Amino acid sequence: MSWELILWVWALVSVMSLVGLCLYQLITLSDLEFDYINPFDSSARINAVVIPEFLLQALLCASFLLTWHWFSFLLTLPVTCYHLNLYLKRRHLVDVTEIFRSLNSEKKYRIIKLALYVTLFVIVIYRLVLTAVTLLMDDEDVNFINSGTL
């Protein structure tokens, strides 16, 4: 199995997880907006997944950098830098007392991230299929040559 294929499978699982985490946060914020849950529960739910999301995003960005996939790296770099900036300024967690005031901006921020993650998801699926097909075609060509029919 090629390292390239392993990278794209890892990226697919990571991006699907990031999409899921972002959707979970958006649903929690929508539940808060429609008064289905209280601010404490929504803040606790969102804050529980913020650090895993930041770490997963950073690992995905680093894996693209280490494997020299510049386009994917440059696509994930702005979100990773923004996450790092939020973490260093200690603004990465949702405050219980300020959640209603910042509800619209939090939702917009997560919708923009979701759009980026869905774009990345499409790119990763394309590259995964391309890599798998290329590997299968190369294996068949090698088997054809090794069979001695030439």
Packing angle, helices 103-146 and 3-33, rounded to 10: 160
At 34 the three-state DSSP class reads: coil
Show me where the domains of the chain are located. Answer: 3-143
CA distance 28 to 31: 5
Structure tokens at 102: 């910042």
pLDDT at 51: 96
pLDDT at 34: 92
pLDDT at 142: 54
pLDDT at 136: 84
Chunk the chain into consecutive blocks of 10 residues (it has 150) and report each block's average pLDDT, rounded to whole numbers. Answer: 89 98 96 92 96 97 95 96 96 90 93 97 96 80 58
Other beta carbons within 10 Å of 110: 19
pLDDT at 40: 94
Half-sphere exposure of 15 (CA within 13 A, CB side): 25
Residue 129 host element (H or E): helix 103-146
All residues at 6 or more sequence positions from 132 whose CB lies less than 8 Å from its CB, including other chains: 5
Q: What is the pTM (predicted TM-score) of this model?
A: 0.89
CA distance 1 to 134: 12
Give the amino acid at 71.
F
